[in-house]
Amino acid sequence: MKIAADDPSSTAPGAAPIRPIVIAANRLPVMRDNTTENGWAPSPGGLVRALLPMLRSSGGTWVGWTGTPDDPTEPFTVDGVDCYPIDISAKEVELYYEGFSNDGLWPLYHDALRESTYDIAQWEAYQRVNERFAITLANIAPPNAIVWIHDYQLQLVPAMLRQQRPDITIGFFLHIPFPPYELFSRLPWRNEIIDGLLGCDLIGFQRPKGATNFAACASQLRKSDIGENVIHNAGHRTELGVFPISIDFAEVEEMAAGRATRKLTSQIRTRLGDPEVILLGVDRLDYTKGIGLRLRAFGALLESGELDPERCVMVQVATPTREAVEHYQDERREIERLVGEINGRFSRIGLPVIHYLYQTLSYDDLIALYRAGDVMLVTPFRDGMNLVAKEYAAAHIDGDGVLVLSEFAGAADELTDAVLVNPHDDRALQESIVTAVEMHRHERRARMAGLREQVKRMDVQGWADRFYAALARAAENQ
């Protein structure tokens, strides 16, 4: 089954939906903010920025959790968008979110980099929360609405919703990879997940391999009839498509060009000792991101003399995430051990060779860091897309800078002007870092021009418009 990425020219950017649209995601698009009049402010992130204008233009709705356990908040409206909170108890956060979603599905969908936990209580909580989403969607979706469901936490919702509301069109977008049959078949509730997703009219994936993996699982487990870009199962037609998500290029570029960003970028270089080369890593602190791998590679290059600690420094930002999950606690301890070990050997007084930040930075600070970074290291073992790579390119309005990018990030399909590397190969990663550091200015600028053009051409608004257009076509084909 061959599935290509959707044609970016297949729909006009910014096209407003004709039918009412409802978004469902684990989290609402807003977070609590006591400084605003209504107590809510839009959440940061490209997904929210891409979808809110579409919802406003269609009188749309967003269903999700507030992020606070045991929070029975009533529906409310923010900036023209109706928000319907789903109440999730503290115990369900432990079982459904931290447990089944992030200690079961997440490692399995990322090449089983860690052992998954398969626990019946976690599965039952996952079912309950998915059913709560489905019931809410069934109750609030207008007749003949489009419902667009997001990500691995809600994979049972499509079929549950289909049973209650056969009149609506259902789309689903998976933001993370979908594993091959050999891995997915380990999941005790594999059939239920496939059945849940086959309730959709359209399922979107980041990469073609995710779509082909899903089709293979549907064929093996449910004996579904697989056609070109389509699955027929139990009398229902589910189309598959590839829609690599992106960023708001214009917004990042505008921020990077601002006077405050330029000033902060200059201050960052000064605080780092004005080094010749700044190597940069920006990640959630997650074992899939390969942070320890790149730290070891950097340390090995300092040890061999291929990198000079008086010439090069590294900045690693690790954003806290899922701190209650044991795998993430272990990963944090290992990263901090490596930072201490390398700094102890190669730093000078007042000038550490690695600057490590375990904190959440503002978007303004991140854009300034991107501009300051001469070499961006994005080395995940597996990643659905990785928007940091795209943000780095968009922020480099000076046309300089080098991106070292893992072949196993979805972004590698598009950002072919990066220095692509297999992060599992220690020596190849070290050589890629040296290549990036030593690259001639003319080559750096040519590669960055290619990266920026690609990200600009395939921005996040276009992604949302293309998915919506494909979902509308899938409804017509049903």
10 — phi, psi (to 5°)? -80, -10
Indicate which residue of 195, 201, 283, 383 is catalytic: 383
Residue 421 β-bridge partners: 406
163 — phi, psi (to 5°)? -65, -35
- Give residue 380's identity as a one-letter amino acid code: P
Residue whose tokens read 């790579």 = 389
- Report pLDDT for 434: 98
The confidence band for 378, taking pLDDT boundaries of 50, 70 and 90, is very high
Write out the E strands in 285-386: 312-319, 354-357, 375-378
Contact predicate 423/379, CB 8 Å: yes
d(CA 392, CA 384): 17
The CATH code of the domain at 249-457 is: 3.40.50.2000
Contact predicate 292/331, CB 8 Å: yes
**Local structure of residue 142 (DSSP, 8 states):** P
Q: Give the long-range contacts of residues 136-144, CB within 8 A, separation 24 or more.
A: 136/63, 136/84, 136/86, 137/22, 137/24, 137/63, 137/161, 137/165, 138/164, 138/165, 140/22, 140/61, 140/63, 140/84, 141/20, 141/22, 141/61, 141/165, 141/168, 142/20, 143/167, 144/19, 144/168, 144/169
* Residue 440 predicted with pLDDT over 50: yes
**Local structure of residue 410 (DSSP, 8 states):** G
Close Cβ partners of 468 (under 8 Å, ≥ 6 residues apart):
11, 15, 17, 21, 54, 146, 148
Share of the chain above pLDDT 90, in %: 85
Active site residue 175: yes
The confidence band for 330, taking pLDDT boundaries of 50, 70 and 90, is very high
Contact predicate 72/31, CB 8 Å: no
d(CA 176, CA 442): 35
* Residue 12 predicted with pLDDT over 70: no
- Report pLDDT for 4: 57
Q: What is the pLDDT of residues 282-314, one digit of tens each?
A: 999 999 999 999 999 999 999 999 999 999 999
pTM: 0.94
The confidence band for 324, taking pLDDT boundaries of 50, 70 and 90, is confident
- Report pLDDT for 1: 61
Q: Do 21-246+460-477 and 249-457 fold alike per CATH?
A: yes
Least confident of 45-59, 88-102, 137-151, 460-474: 45-59
Contact predicate 193/222, CB 8 Å: no
* Residue 333 predicted with pLDDT over 60: yes
Indicate which residue of 175, 232, 236, 424 is catalytic: 175
* Residue 26 predicted with pLDDT over 60: yes
447: buried, middle or exposed (CB in 10 Å: 19+, 13-18, 0-12)?
buried
Residue 85 β-bridge partners: 64
- Neighbour tally for 97: CB within 10 Å: 23
Q: How many residues are given for the chain? A: 478
- Report pLDDT for 6: 64
Q: Give the long-range contacts of residues 161-164, CB within 8 A, separation 24 or more.
A: 161/134, 161/137, 161/199, 162/199, 162/236, 163/199, 164/134, 164/135, 164/138
Q: Quote the distance between the C-alpha of residue 374 and its chain's center.
A: 23
Question: Does 21-246+460-477 carry CATH code 3.40.50.2000?
Answer: yes
Contact predicate 43/66, CB 8 Å: no
Q: What is the pLDDT of residues 35-93, one digit of tens each?
A: 877 888 777 666 787 787 778 777 789 999 999 999 989 999 887 889 999 999 999 99
d(CA 103, CA 72): 26
d(CA 1, CA 276): 48
Share of the chain above pLDDT 70, in %: 96
- Domain residue ranges of the chain, discontinuous segments joined by +: 21-246+460-477, 249-457
- Report pLDDT for 438: 98
With CA atoms as reference, report the closest residue to 59 among 18, 26, 11.
18
**Local structure of residue 174 (DSSP, 8 states):** -
Write out the E strands in 138-229: 146-150, 169-173, 202-205, 225-227
